[in-house]
Chains A and B, each alone.
Chain A
Amino acid sequence: MPTSDIPASGRIAAGGSFHRRRRVLADRAAAFLIAGGGISVVLAILLIFIFVGREALPLARGSQLGNTVTLTAPDAPSLLTGTDPFQDLAWSLDSLGGLHVADRARAAATRLDFPLDSLERLSAVALEGGVRADRFALGTSTGRLLLARINVSRVLDEGAAHSTAELEILEPALPVDSLALPAGAARVEQLTLGRGDSYSLLAWTAGGRLQLALEERESESWMRLAAPAELEGLQPVDLAASPTGERLALANAAGELLVLEISPDGARLLERRPTGLAGRVTSLAFLIGGNRLVAGDERGGLASLVEVQGETGVHWISGESLTGHTAAITRLLPGPRDRSLVSLDAAGHGILHYVTTGRTLLEAELGATTASFGPRGDALVLAGPGLLQAVELANPHPEVSWRALFGRLQYESYEGRQSVWQSTGGGDDFEPKFSLLPLIFGTLKGTFFALLISVPLALLGAIYISQFAPTWLARSIKPAIEIMAALPSVIIGFLAGLVFAPYLELHFTALLAFVVLLPLLILAMVPVWARIPGHRLGPKGLPQLAQGLVLSLLALGLAYGLAPWLDSVVFGGNLIVWLQEKAGVVYDQRNSLVVGFALGFAVIPIIFTMAEDALSNVPDALVSASLALGASRWTTVARVVLPGAAAGVFAAIMIGLGRAIGETMIVLMATGNTPVMDISPLNGFRAMSACIAVEIPEAPMGSTLYRLLFLTALLLFLFTFVINSAASWIGERLRKSHGRIS
């Protein structure tokens, strides 16, 4: 453009160029911004994947030992060691009764002494419940028993916290004279202490004989308890009391394990069985909850037992196998918070197990002869001659293992190995059960019944609308289907749960009768219609629609008419009662059939719309060719249109499947949400989506449950991602191939 020689236009051009620059700038900025907006969708889906995955990922990380703090250590061998919740202090007890307390902040140690006689030595120690290192029982070589407590108080001054410890000794007022032992044989050999809400149990052996004492906690009075007669002459090599003192386990030299039930009424033998270990038992421990027991032997073998509820009552069976050691087991340390266990061997090697799953969480050379968990389970204190260390322990998700999530495990009190989802329960010593299988099963079950109902109806309807319906009908059906798609799932769910479920319970027979009668009626009508002259398929399929309506109403009426008769004559009054009595099938009000109808109702419009689209987009050329070759209309539809649209129809079903898998409110409201694995259509289930919705508000951030629910969400995401990607890939290919034909 010649601009420079004409001043006037030059001005315009100058202004123009300014404008142009602004325009170009604006154009570039807009392009940049819009591209950013476009890419942000990709980012959004990536972000969802990454963030949901990021929260689930720590489940895969194992347990780790962290910082080690070395404290001033005593020279004497350690009988017992412990620490406070903050690892400010660590203590170690030697056999002379000296309690060495090391202070981390002051790098100093103090020594507290138990008042022992000159020749008296500590011969046995026991932590309360096997877990609490600040409350323990001591037995001496002269037959004295002491209960002791280390009271730790933490003070905050000027921002720095430190703790002080103080020793409190309680000598139980035991009727010692009733021990009636030969002189010189009073030495306490093994000792264990359990403490429940109303009773404490103290059990020890002296001269190879089992002694039991029970304290009533309210009155603080001790009484002796006689050992059962079956135990006469048994030489226990080790003892362990359950944390609450309701069970006592014994191992004898003959390689047997005995479990007693202890109550104020007496001790009763519950179980007597071989340990299954090759060597002599050197250590026994109950885990919290008192329903699991682990034994270690002199060859390094470990055996775990679990209490189950059998038909004949309580008994003990083998649990998951645990990784063994190569040297004799010296200590078994149950975790204070969960079913973790540290086993120590004579060579100083330590293994951290999770007993429920049998998973080995961690192996390390600890070099200690005694050790103990920190009260919160987040530290280990290690002690040995010249050694006192506090080691951080990261053990956030011990419950999780491949087998726990996707396999079967022997849980406490359960009969046989099962896959169970039970994330929370009463009490701190509840054993969490984190199998995802019941949830995945529930999701698949719900989806199956939904598709069972929606696929036939939606496909039949789509074939009719796309191939046989007059145009005006097809046009007016579409908004109806769209309205169906727009119905909020919370409304469908509430109708299913509160209206349909109770209704179905009353009219279950009628529904079954309808399902059976409808196809029978159709079959019965075939010969009748064949005789009606002029009954032909006209250009418009309206008569057929009317027949369908009449037939379904007829079947409905017949079903309702027959139901009371069926109930009273065939099923002896009530089908549901009959099913339960004759077939043992339990009928839940909110069952899988109800979900199938509700979820199917929600999925029908999706499958219908997409299938209808695929069917009407089969190229006209194919249809015309078939008709020109003399095929009838139905033959054309069955042989040409349906195969031609098969991929699209398949994609429609896939999209419906994806929707059914992820649907939350309907499964939440229309099932009882019990995580059972049972294929019966007459009981409920718990789906993954509903489980997330119900449990995530209660799950503390960062807990195993929280992360597992994110893992569940990740699985749902991946399921639907694969399904949707496949469906859209099919759709794209279909468009291309149809494009080629027409």
Chain B
Amino acid sequence: MSARTPHPVKGRSGSRDSVPVMVTGLGLVLILLMLLLVLWLILSRGLAAFWPQRLERFELKDGTVLLGEIWERLETPEGGRLRLRVGNRELTGQDIILLDQSEIAAITRPRDAVLVERNENGVFLGWLDGLSGPGVEIQGDSPRLRRQLDLAVERVGELDEQLLREQERARRLSLKRGRWEEELERRQASPAGVAALQEKLDASALRLSGLERSLDSLRAAANLWTLRLNTADGSQSDLPLLQVVRWVPTNELGMLGRLRLYGRRFWGFLTEDPRESNTAGGIWPAMFGTVLMVLLMSLAAAPLGVMTAVYLHDYARQGLVVRLIRLSVNNLAGVPSIVFGIFGLGFFIYFTGGTLDAAFFPERLPEPTFGTGGILWASLTLALLTLPVVVVATLEGLGAVSRTTRMAALALGATRWQMIRQVVLPNAMPGILTGLILAVSRAAGEVAPLMITGVVKLAPSLALDGDAPFLHLDRKFMHLGFHIYDLGFQSPNVEAAKPMLFGTALLLIGIVLLLNLTAILLRNHLRKRYKQAAF
């Protein structure tokens, strides 16, 4: 692949030539228009995903009253339509509706309407009408209610955090107890230490029940708080405050307030766990899974790719072997990703994993440990898939190290390996890094092979956590790309998932483009050096 810069053909030309040239230009124009359109779509809708919309009150011609956010204006042959989010899923069954513009009699923007973000059933839209809790009983919307509500949300939030901490403690304790019980069973044969173990178990049972009691009391304390809201059609609804994430008087917020809310939502999107079958909350586990998978993959792909490139460039003699390797690299780059996936399933999961299970985890069979999809197998599959990317970029990096540099090293008495390790590889580093970055970018966006080697829509726990042995290579994981597929095509409520969908897509594209731009810059740096070295 030569990097010759093209230069325009200079010569005689007539006006007749202008048209075919324009047609070729047209091809370029259309390509660029498509690219811009795609980038613009992702950027605009991704950025708008967390923007607080105004709440509008719609009076329909048939007398119905709705409160909702306008999500989309559709132009159909039958006339204009609005896609509204009206929330309150538990009352109406549908939180997103299509409304013909011809049905609307009046639209107003009530200042005092609020949006309540919840843990369950999506958002609630309505008007504040009361708050009750220990020592607090307020009727009707008033500044006092709002002040108290803020305090109460904070208080219940603290209770909730405490609750989560206790739950985590209880979980760990029962995990430990599980191990002790297993050990006890093993030791039944030889009574040494059984008594001590039994004692430990008894004590921990006591602690566990204590924890459970405190959990119950925390829950009870949190459940004392309820928020009363009026809906647009005049009915009232009581929400347990434990479900409330935050409440927002959207229509009263100024630009700054909306920006601040936007920031809070975006931060929550990055750092929180998903809620409500992934249509709300954040994507933290998917980001974490993607990064961890990509790291594991790099550990496998980088050494192998660099070795292959070094062998091709510095060791192998031109001949059959080199041609065979080149052919393999080219083909490895061209094999469809789904074939890698099915290979990973057949070879890594069923063959290797099955063998490992039979050898090391026979007590758990037929429940598979490594004989089912997991982050290790997914990473290895992707390592194979991205190997050619590393090889090709490393080859370019090796080519940038001039012959004279190599000769100089050899002339100083270095062996071939010393030359490679101390002179060639450090100088080829930008190339290797370029390859690795491109491989990572490819792996971050690849979905098909992951779908069958260990990605899930919702992983119960991260593959890296505080439980021994900390890194759980057999666990299933979440992935940004798969998250997009799952949200858009397997979610029960695709419309409600769209903000999350565009947000995730923007994040993924951002990561991939950032990685690619870095790679491009690195490579340009490398090429500049290549030119200098050629002297």
**Interface residues, chain A, CB within 8 Å of chain B?**
23-24, 26-27, 30-31, 33-42, 44-45, 47-48, 51-52, 54-55, 456-461, 463-471, 474-475, 477, 479-484, 486-495, 497-499, 506, 518, 522, 525-526, 529-530, 532, 535-537, 539-541, 543-545, 547-549, 551-552, 567, 573-574, 601, 604, 608, 612-613, 615-617, 623, 627, 630-638, 641, 655, 658-659, 661-665, 668-669, 689, 692-693, 696-697, 701, 709-710, 713, 716-717, 720-721, 723-725, 727-728
Contact = CB atoms under 8 A, between A and B. Distances in A.
Contacts of B330: 724-725, 727-728
Contact of B448 (A535, A632, A665): A665
B452 interface: yes
Given A545-B29, A692-B338, A693-B451, A612 B6 contact: yes
A51 B347 contact: yes
B509 interface: yes
Interface in B3-17: 4-17
Nearest to A640: B9
B316 A38 contact: yes
Given A38-B307, A491-B508, 4 more contacts: A52-B343, A494-B484, A548-B29, A615-B6
Contacts of B505: 491, 494-495
Nearest to A44: B384
A203 to B, nearest CB: 44
Nearest to B494: A498
Nearest to A635: B17
B310 interface: yes
A123 B79 CA distance: 77
Contact of B351 (A51, A573, A696): A51
B1 to A, nearest CB: 6
B25 interface: yes
Of the candidates B26, B35, B316, the one having the most CB atoms from chain A within 10 angstroms of its own CB is B26
Nearest to A29: B417
Contact of A544 (B12, B25, B315): B25
B133 interface: no
Interface string B213-237: 0000000000000000000000000
Nearest to B383: A44
B460 interface: no
B200 to A, nearest CB: 36
A644 B2 CA distance: 17
A460 B417 contact: no
Contacts of B391: 41
B8 A539 contact: yes
A441 B421 CA distance: 51
A470 B28 CA distance: 14
Given A488-B444, A506-B76, A713-B339, A547 B22 contact: yes
Q: Which 3 A-B pairs have the closest CB atoms?
A: A662-B336, A460-B27, A488-B445
Contacts of A30: 416-417, 420-421
A199 to B, nearest CB: 39
B91 interface: no
B417 A48 contact: no
Nearest to A456: B27
Contact of B15 (A26, A51, A525, A535): A535
B6 A474 contact: yes
Nearest to B343: A48
A601 B32 CA distance: 11
A463 B25 CA distance: 8
B332 interface: yes
Given A34-B307, A529-B15, A460 B9 contact: no
B512 A552 contact: no
B255 interface: no
B485 interface: yes
Contacts of A720: 331, 334-336, 339
Interface string B158-186: 00000000000000000000000000000
A613 B1 contact: yes
B13 A634 contact: yes
A708 to B, nearest CB: 12
Contacts of A33: 307
A709 B341 CA distance: 12
Contacts of A481: 31
A728 B5 contact: no
A665 B315 contact: no
Contacts of A539: 8, 10
A536 B387 CA distance: 49
Nearest to A620: B7
Contacts of A488: 444-447, 481, 508-509, 512
B433 interface: no
B416 A38 contact: no
A552 B307 contact: no
Nearest to B506: A491
Interface string B300-344: 000110111011100110000100111111111111111111110
Contacts of B488: 494, 497-498, 669
B77 interface: yes
A13 to B, nearest CB: 14
A486 B441 contact: yes
A494 B505 CA distance: 9
A479 B520 contact: yes
A71 B465 CA distance: 59
Contact of A725 (B316, B331, B445): B331
A97 B6 CA distance: 95
A498 B303 contact: no
B198 interface: no
A661 B327 CA distance: 19
A529 B31 CA distance: 24
A484 B35 CA distance: 7
Which of A42, A480, A491, A720: most chain B CB closer than 10 A?
A491
**Residue from B13, B351, B441, B494 having most chain A Cβ neighbours under 10 A:** B13
Given A488-B446, A631-B11, A716 B346 contact: no
Contacts of B333: 724
Given A48-B339, A506-B75, A613-B2, A636 B11 contact: yes
Interface string B439-466: 0011011111001100000000000000
B25 A27 contact: no
Nearest to A664: B448
A716 B336 contact: yes
B299 interface: no
A655 B331 CA distance: 10
B259 interface: no
A646 B41 CA distance: 36
Best-surrounded residue of A34, A709, A723 (most CB of chain B within 10 A): A34
A223 to B, nearest CB: 47
A469 B26 contact: no
B2 A483 contact: no
Contacts of A634: 13, 16-17, 20-21
B42 A495 contact: yes
B338 A713 contact: yes
Interface in B497-521: 498, 501, 505, 508-509, 512-513, 516-517, 520
Contacts of A463: 24, 27
B512 A487 contact: yes
Q: In this complex, which of A38, A664, A665 has the most chain B Cβ atoms within 10 angstroms of its Cβ?
A: A38
Contacts of A617: 2, 4
B308 A40 contact: yes
B33 A552 contact: yes
A53 to B, nearest CB: 10
A470 B8 CA distance: 6
6 contacts: A44-B332, A482-B520, A549-B25, A552-B33, A641-B9, A697-B452
B346 A471 contact: no
B6 A42 contact: no
A480 B35 contact: yes
B38 interface: yes
Contact of A633 (B13, B347, B489): B13
Contacts of B256: none
Contacts of A636: 9, 11
